[in-house]
Structure 1
Amino acid sequence: MSDLRTRAAAGQTLTVDGTRLWDTLMELAKIGAYHDAGTGLVGVNRQSLTDEDAAGRRLVIGWMKAAGLEVTIDEIGNIFGRRTGTEPGLAPVLVGSHIDSVATAGAFDGCLGVLGALEVVRSLDDAGISTARPIVVAAWTEEEGVRFGTDMLGSAVAAGRLALDYAYDLIDEEGTRFGDELVRIGFQGPQPVRLDPPYAYVECHIEQGPVLAREGYEVGVVTGVQAISWQKVTLHGRAAHAGTTPTELRVDAGLAAAQIVVKVREMVDSGRYGRLRATVGHLTASPGLPSVVPDRAELTVDLRNPDDARMAAAEAELAAFLDLLPGAQPGLRVDVKRMAKTSAVPFDESVQDAIAAAAADLGHDTMRLMSGAGHDAQEMTAIAPTAMIFVRGEYDGISHNPREYSTLEACAAGIDVLATTVLRLASQ
C-alpha cells in the first residue's frame, strides 16, 4: 500500500444522511436505557453478552440485512455485514466499532462507528455507487472489557493476539463464564474467528476527550493509541474491632488500598513518566462495616502512557511499591493480577493521509491527535493498514457517562469523512 496515499487523495466524495444516522443512534440507545440518578439523564447500560447486548445485536443485524448486507457471526460473536464489490475476490475494506457499553454509558461510544459504517453502505446504495472491493461492517464483541476484564476482546482474538479458549474461559464478577454467556444469548457463530487480512481498516469514534472542542475542530485524524495497563490488586489483611484494636496491631487492608491510590497519583504528578495517567476506578473493602478494620480490599489500577519505555518504568515502580506494603504492615498479603496490557500502537500514515484528504475535500479542517482510550482499531493494526477518525464531543468530551454527547452535525461530519475515505479505499 505504498502508493495508497496518492491514489486515495483523488476521487469523488460521499456524504451521508445525517438525520437517518442520528435516528439509528437514538433507536439503539433505547436498548439498555436507564434513568441515571446522579445526572438526572437517561443513560445506557448494555454490557457485553447481557440480554440487552443481545437485543442490540439483533437490531443492528436487522438493519444490516435491510441494507442488503450478507451477515455472518464468528466464534466469538463478532458480527460482520458484507457489501459485495465488483471484484469480490479482492480483500475488503473493513469498517466498524462496537455496541457493548459500560454500565453508565451514553449513546455514542462505539455505536457511532458501527451505525456510521452502516450509514456509509446505505448512502452508497442511495447514490447507486458500486466499489471494486467489498466493504465489511464490523460490530466487535466485548470492546469495553468491563464485564469480563479484557478490553478489545473480540477484535484481539480475531487478529490473533489472544486465543479463543482464553476468551471463552474468562469469568465476570458473578463467576459467569464468557463462553457460556455467548451460547446463552445465541451469538456463538460458526465462522472461524481468525480474520483474513482486509485491505484496510477504518474506525470512526467520538473523541472521549476535550481536545477537538478546545481547538475548534469537528473532526480529528487519529495517529495511534497509547499504551494501556490494567491490574487488579487484592489486599488481604485481618478484621478487627475499630475501637478496641490498637493501631500498631492492625493489618488494615483499607489503609493499604488508600496508600496505593495516593502512590499512583504521586507517580503522575512527579513528571518522572512523561504523560502518564493513572486511575483507580474500582475500590471495595470488606466486610464494609463502620466499626470493623477491613480484612480485604480490592482495587484496579489503570495506567496509560504514549511512551512504552516510560510505561514499563512506571509499572516497575508500582510493583516495587506493592512489594514494600507488607513490610509496613506485617501479615498483609498482596495479590496482583494482570487484566490487560497493550503497547502503544501507531496508525498507518497512508490511511491517516487518506482520511485527512477526504476531510479537506469535504471542507473540514482537521488536526492529528493520539487516542487516550483503547479501540478495536489498535488490534487491527496487526493485520491491516489502520487509522481512525475522531468526532468532537460536547461537555469537555465526557464519555462513559450519560452526559456523553455529540451533535448531529458533528456526527454527520465525521461519517461524511468516513464515507469518502471508505469509498476511495474500496475503489482501488
Structure 2
Amino acid sequence: MTGRPAIRPDRLQERLERFAGIGATPKGGVDRQALTAGDREARALLAGLARDRGFSVRQDAAANLFLRREGAHADLPPLILGSHLDTQPTGGRFDGALGVLAAFEVLEALEDARLSSERAVEVAVWTNEEGSRFAPGAMGSQAFAARAIPPEWLAARGADGAVLGEELDRTVVSLAVPAAPLGFPIAAYLELHIEQGPVLEREDIPVGVVTGIQGTLWLEIEIEGQAAHAGTTPLAFRRDPMRAAAAILTELYGSIMPGDEDARFTVGRIEARPGSVNAIPERVRFTIDLRHPDAGVLRDLADRIAGVCEGVCAAAGCGLSIRRLVDMPPIAFPAEMVERIEASARRIGLASRRIVSGAFHDALYLARCAPAAMIFCPCRDGISHNEAEHVEARFVSAGASVLLEATLSFLDDAR
C-alpha cells in the first residue's frame, strides 16, 4: 500500500463530464434512456475504463454490469457499490451517473493506493432504474434480487414501440464480456445518489444519511362512461367520465397531502378517449403515484382512493377499474448501516443529517439481498429529472469521499 486511499475530485469531475456527453441535450442535460444506443455506449466506455485498470467485467442476463476489483479470498461475497447510467428523456447528468462514477472512483482510489483487501469490491450498473422507456423502473436490481426476469417484462413495449426483450438482447450482445449469474451472494450494498429534493442544500449539509425509502404505489384508474354529443346532451342524460375524474381528483388533491405532510400524491398522466373536442369522452384513464414512509398509512390511503373512486363513479353512472402498476412497500435500512455511514462522515470531518428517500432507488431491492445503505448529495434547488439538474463540485467530492470511507470500513471488518 502506498498510502491511505483518497478520492481524486479532478478525475471524477472529468468522468462526469465525459459521460454527460453521451446523449447530451441542447440544454445541458442527458437523454440516455435504458437499453438505447446511448446506454450501450456508456456501458462500453465504463467497461473499457475498468479493463484499463485491470478490473474484471461481467454482465448478467438482465444486462446488469459488474466491474470487479479482486480480493484475496474469491470465496468471500463481494461488497457492491452501485447505481444506474440510464436517464429520463430530458434528464440530468448526475442522477444515477454520479453513483456509478463515484463507485468507480472508489475502485480506482483503492487501486492507486495498492490496497489489498480480503474481499472483492464490485461496481454494479443496474439496468433501467428510471423506467421512462420501459416500465417498471429498477428492472435490473429487481431481477438481481429475485434471480429471475419475469417473462411478461420481455414482451413489454416502450413508448417508442421497442420490445424490451429485443433491446435487452441487443444490449447484452453488444458488450463481449463473460456472463455473470443473475443474482449472487453479496456482503453489503452501498449507493450514492443525489437527493432529488431541497433539504440538504437548504441546510447546507454536504451528506445525507438515508434511513430508508418510502413506499410507492402506482395506480391506473380507468373510468368508463358513454360517448355523446357535446352540444345536444343535457346534464341528466350524461354519463361523463371526465366529470367523474375531475370530482375524484378534486377530492383527493384536497385531502391526501393537506391531511398528511409525509404523503405524496401525484397524477402524472391523463387521457380521454376518443379525444374529440365536441364529444363527451367514452372513457378517461389517469395514473396516480402515491408515496408514504409508513406501510400501514400507504395501505389506508390506497383504500381511501378506491373508496372515493367507487363512490363518485357509482353516482355518475360510470364503470370503474383500478389496476396496480407498481407496489413497492417502504423499507428501513439497518440501524448499523445508517450508523456506519454517519461514522464515516464524522471520520473525514463532514457534517451529515438523517433523511428519508422520497424516490425509490435500486437500493430498495438490494436491501432484500444484504445489508444496504444510501448516501445523498445535495442538488441545486432540489431539481432532478430535469436538464437543469446540478450538483456542486464540493458536494460531489464529499459524497464520493464518504462512499470511499464506508467502503474502507467494510474492508477493515473483513480483515
TM-score, normalised to structure 2's length? 0.92
Distance in 1 (alpha carbons) for counterparts of 2:44 and 2:31: 16
Closer, same or farther: CA 325–94 of 1 in aligned 2, 3 Å? same
Where do 1:239-278 residues align within 5 Å? 239-271=227-259, 275-278=262-265
Q: Among 32, 35, 57, which residue is 1:46 paired with?
A: 32
CA contact (8 A) 1:157 1:193 kept: no
Partner residue in 1 for 2:311? 324
Cα offset, 1:253, TM superposition: 2.9
* 1:25-77 deviation digits (Å, cap 9, x = unpaired): 12212222223xxxxx2222222122222222222222222232211111111
The aligned amino acid for 2:294 is D
CA contact (8 A) 2:59 2:172 kept: no
* 1:328-371 deviation digits (Å, cap 9, x = unpaired): 322x3323221111111011222222211111111101111111
Q: Does 1:134 align with 2:136?
A: no
Q: Among 371, 381, 393, which residue is 1:408 paired with?
A: 393
| More off after superposition, 414-423 vs 319-328 | 319-328
CA contact (8 A) 2:57 2:178 kept: no
Cα offset, 1:304, TM superposition: 0.5
Distance in 2 (alpha carbons) for counterparts of 1:292 and 1:83: 63
Q: Among 400, 410, 414, which residue is 1:425 paired with?
A: 410
Q: Among 94, 106, 115, which residue is 2:101 paired with?
A: 115
Structure 1 runs of 4+ with >6 Å offset: none
Partner residue in 2 for 1:225? 213
Cα offset, 1:270, TM superposition: 4.6
Closer, same or farther: CA 219–270 of 1 in aligned 2, 3 Å? closer
Closer, same or farther: CA 236–23 of 1 in aligned 2, 3 Å? farther
Distance in 1 (alpha carbons) for counterparts of 2:380 and 2:261: 27
Secondary structure of 1:196's match?
Answer: coil
CA contact (8 A) 1:13 1:362 kept: no
CA contact (8 A) 2:215 2:328 kept: yes
CA contact (8 A) 2:191 2:374 kept: yes
Cα offset, 1:203, TM superposition: 0.3
CA contact (8 A) 1:231 1:302 kept: yes
CA contact (8 A) 2:20 2:30 kept: yes
Closer, same or farther: CA 50–256 of 1 in aligned 2, 3 Å? farther
* 1:393-417 deviation digits (Å, cap 9, x = unpaired): 112x111111211011101110011
Where do 1:253-402 residues align within 5 Å? 253-271=241-259, 275-330=262-317, 332-395=318-381, 397-402=382-387
CA contact (8 A) 2:82 2:100 kept: yes
Closer, same or farther: CA 234–30 of 1 in aligned 2, 3 Å? farther
Secondary structure of 2:25's match?
Answer: strand
| More off after superposition, 349-358 vs 191-200 | 191-200
Distance in 2 (alpha carbons) for counterparts of 1:249 and 1:59: 62
Q: Among 127, 140, 143, which residue is 1:154 paired with?
A: 140
Closer, same or farther: CA 167–365 of 1 in aligned 2, 3 Å? same
Distance in 2 (alpha carbons) for counterparts of 1:61 and 1:248: 65
Closer, same or farther: CA 237–53 of 1 in aligned 2, 3 Å? farther
Report sequence identity in percent. Answer: 37
Closer, same or farther: CA 264–425 of 1 in aligned 2, 3 Å? same
RMSD: 2.1
Cα offset, 1:202, TM superposition: 0.4
Secondary structure of 1:107's match?
Answer: coil
Distance in 1 (alpha carbons) for counterparts of 2:261 and 2:137: 24
Distance in 2 (alpha carbons) for counterparts of 1:179 and 1:64: 27
Closer, same or farther: CA 415–371 of 1 in aligned 2, 3 Å? same
CA contact (8 A) 1:230 1:302 kept: yes
Structure 2 residue runs of 5 or longer lacking an equivalent are none
Distance in 1 (alpha carbons) for counterparts of 2:402 and 2:5: 8
Closer, same or farther: CA 255–65 of 1 in aligned 2, 3 Å? farther
The aligned amino acid for 1:281 is G
Distance in 2 (alpha carbons) for counterparts of 1:277 and 1:162: 31
Closer, same or farther: CA 201–245 of 1 in aligned 2, 3 Å? same
Partner residue in 1 for 2:203? 215
CA contact (8 A) 1:31 1:44 kept: yes
TM-score, normalised to structure 1's length? 0.90
Distance in 2 (alpha carbons) for counterparts of 1:31 and 1:291: 45
Where do 1:180-219 residues align within 5 Å? 180-186=166-172, 191=179, 193-219=181-207
Closer, same or farther: CA 186–200 of 1 in aligned 2, 3 Å? closer
Partner residue in 2 for 1:38? none
Distance in 2 (alpha carbons) for counterparts of 1:49 and 1:248: 51
| More off after superposition, 214-223 vs 145-154 | 145-154
Structure 1 residue runs of 5 or longer lacking an equivalent are 1-11, 36-40
Distance in 2 (alpha carbons) for counterparts of 1:426 and 1:311: 38
Partner residue in 1 for 2:55? 69
Secondary structure of 1:405's match?
Answer: coil
CA contact (8 A) 2:34 2:127 kept: yes
Closer, same or farther: CA 392–249 of 1 in aligned 2, 3 Å? same
* 1:231-272 deviation digits (Å, cap 9, x = unpaired): 12223333333222223323333323333332332232452x
The aligned amino acid for 1:229 is L
Count of matched residue pairs: 409
Secondary structure of 2:156's match?
Answer: coil
Cα offset, 1:291, TM superposition: 2.5
